[in-house]
Structure 1
Amino acid sequence: MYEPNLDFVRRIEVYKKANPGLAVRIYLLVYNNSCEEAKYLAGVRREKESFEKLIRERGSMLNPILDQRRSGDTESLMKVVNSRIAGGRKDVTVEPAKVIVDMREFRSSLPSLLHASNLLVIPVTLTVGDYILTPDICVERKSIPDLVSSFNSGRLYTQCELMSAHYKQPILLIEWEEHKSFSLDTIAEVKSYAKASGKFPSKKPSATPSEPTLASSSIQSKLVLLTLTFPRLRIIWSSSPYATAEIFNDLKTLQPEPDPLKAIVVGAEEDPNAGAGVNTSAEELLRTLPGVTAKNVKHVMGKVKSVKELCELELKEVQQILGVEPGKACWDFIHKGERK
């Protein structure tokens, strides 16, 4: 072969293994220290690292205990205990289980899986959270890439702050992909895509700690700080969207159903006619301010009547609306002209 191709070489090796009687040999003709040689050796190195990673993951892989899935029409109905009966007598009413889902979440596969698990999916535009399971439980779902970007931009802090302010049980759901390793090493792989690298991997081993270890400890530290800041926040680790659907079913057991109308106005204006007669230009200007996001813009519009009124507020008043860090960033931008 004048141009070494690792894929073709492996195919020939498989063919030789399947036909032991054939005398098949491979000869590679390349210049020493050439680009072709470096490309071939880099492919062999990546292949070796992939096998080593597979061996490590199989050594620490857990065998999940798969419970029998809920089946039957009766399982799709949630039993809600109603104690508003004269004399304190409890009555059990049966109604379909409902999950309120933000419209932006339909880009993922989870809403379809919730529907397949006999849950009534109600699509609405939510200001706070991604999924409303009960009147008290609000869930913010984060995939691994979204979790990394949310930590870097500070968006997750604002989202947790809004959930803690409006719901008794805020939940942060960290969801892995179905066929990916259920470990924090996946976060290091996500970060590595954004880093500039040479054409070929380095041949010299680094003496510093491995990158997966550093990335895992960094995310763990940020999660610890997040839970210390919001004590009522609960974190759920889900290995796949299928596991998330099962978790949602378990969380809704014997719990009251959420109200879509109340979920829509949470975090937004309390007026049911919110959004009517809104100055779109002023709203677009408001969205460009630091600390104001698509999640809390309606909440800000419900607190101030105009952008001018927002600019005239004191620092503490802005922080009461947006939160401590986002409020300070917004106030500094308005009064100092610097985005921090």
Structure 2
Amino acid sequence: MEFIDHSLVKKDTVMARVYQETIVDSCREKNSLIVLPTGLGKTIIAALLTVYRLQKHDGKVIFLAPTKPLVMQHFQTFSDVLNIDKMEFFTGTVAPSTRKELYKNKKVIFATPQVIENDIISRRLDLENVSMIIFDEAHRSIGDYAYVFIAKKYMEKGKNPLIIGLTASPGSQKDKIKEVLENLFIENIEVRTDSSPDIKKYIQDIDIEWIEVDFPEEYKKIRKYLEKYLENKLKILHNIGFLRSASLGISKKDLLELGTRIRKDMNKNYGKMDKRYFIGIMAQSSAIKIQHGMELLETQGIIPFLDYFERLKHQKAKSAKEIINSELIKKALNLAKTIETRHPKYEKLREIIEKEIKRCKNIIVFSQYRDSAQKIVDILNDMEGVRAIRFVGQSSKLGDKGLTQKNQKDILEKFRNQEYNILVATSIAEEGLDIPSVDLVLFFEPVPSEIRTIQRRGRTGRRKAGKVIVLFTGKTRDEAYFWVSRAKEKKMHKILLQMKNQLKKKEYIEKQTKIEDFVKIIVDYRERSPVVKYLSSHCLVEQKNLPVGDYVLSERVCVERKSSEDFLRSLMDRKIFQQIKNISESYEIPILIIEGEDLYSQHEISANSILNAIISIILDFNVHVIFTKDPYETMLILLDIAKREQQKEKKDIPIRGNKKIMEIKENQRYIIEGLPHVSATLAERLLKHFKSVKNIFTASKEDLMKIKGIGEKTADEIIKVIEEGYE
């Protein structure tokens, strides 16, 4: 057995594998996407590339992964195989000031992308001397995900940039793969499949078995009622011109896309108030819900099916209420309640586990739904020799509390130590967690995603032969998903090989956008919109704790930004008017930007109510209202206003605006509201108690603490602001 011999690689830790060395040689000077089956050492390839880049260009290497457990896992692998002392991992829990120092002193940094994104925006991290950034789970590099922003800024700023993307599957849609390649500035693709000649001898055999069960006759009767209801909704959509055909074969994806299309069309024509849109949205929403119910019946059984409709009863949406009150659905539910037959998958699962538990040390059962996962655990724990545990995500759902990260870690440690020998997991176990390789992976149902199928399958066969069993119900969605996932995986490899052959080296490095020194925008540190990322490419962005508004563009202009959904939510709870009042009282030119093209279709609020609220904001509060279609357009407007305001004369932008005319009482409140942690209510209390601004400024700590709402910490901070010298 031959090992890599290098001063920066620990002795006898990294086996010399020709395919890994070939990939390293191909990728060390070109931005590359590396697509390898799970368990073939993507992290080791990244480690060897790190050694090369640090020796050639010095600088630093950043390794990004989407979750904290993955960040720690990669850090541990590098620590095990590399002789590099200056390595560190951190997430958002590490203080910004500490991170700034770590960037200066460390050679290899492991982090989640959100942390790096924030530190680039805040200018805590300079990318100039970063010699390589590794993007793990690179298929996420689409849309507004942080990877996209980081890659763009890196290619603009880096002196010797190199991007390496790692993934087991970038997907099967050509446009999505193309988007990943463009967003990561990829010049080179290295792809291997299970059948690639240079990796065959390193691939452990994985025995894949597909087991079909019959769909019970009693269940078919329930399905007929659901199909009749669904057919009625599809006919409505067809009759009003939103669907070409009322075929029951329409997919969930097509229905979701239809909903988006209807809402966009509605927004373009909102003034016409065409009833067709509201009828279409109601029918589409009902159809989606019924399709989901049918999927549960076909793939999971009666109990998850009934539980789902029970949850629908508690939903406020009109479509949910209409479904529950439908005679067809009532008949379906009444029939379901009389059926005691359990879905045949459960008996088949029990039969398989009874046989496999004798030879398998550990097993993962993947289930799409939490309800089914719990039912599976209950069934399995009745069997001799089985110690099963449910493994789900952190979010809590109606009547079902999620697992904290600590709970997840504890369960995985006990699974690793054999306290549990079967993990019954939802999609949380597919990606982003350090789960040990297992002897058997069992799919309770197929999934139509090739990415998820590959990730599930990759949990076995890493160091020794493994086995995968997929259960599916014949002549149902299960069977359709079975064929879809197989076809998508083949298509993915075909597309990647085509792109690899077609890909030529291009000049992806864009001209660095010149940042105009005179343009600076102050942004509230709580603002999490993509607008902030876009602005940072065109002007100086300074993040501060703003008392009002989201963006300060000059001493007289402040902007409150709301997405259409945020605006409607704040309209429903009446918070918007207090926010508008605050910005109107604080700045000479207050602006409200409402962002998004779906203002009139997101919530069940009438268009008249929305228009009346906007008119009130303009007339009663003297606030300018601007509508934008997306974050990018918002950025362009903010930038143009800031340039126009700041080009006149170069001066610092105050955090708080300057109203030209205020009454004495307003001025007094305005001054006191500028003190740390002092709200409008607290400012009123202070002024009423001390009678003047002067008395507040000369009050002792003890006197300040007598005011309701002021504790020791707040009192200390107020006195510090008043007494400390200005530098």
TM-score normalised to the size of structure 2? 0.25
Larger radius of gyration: 2
TM-score normalised to the size of structure 1? 0.49
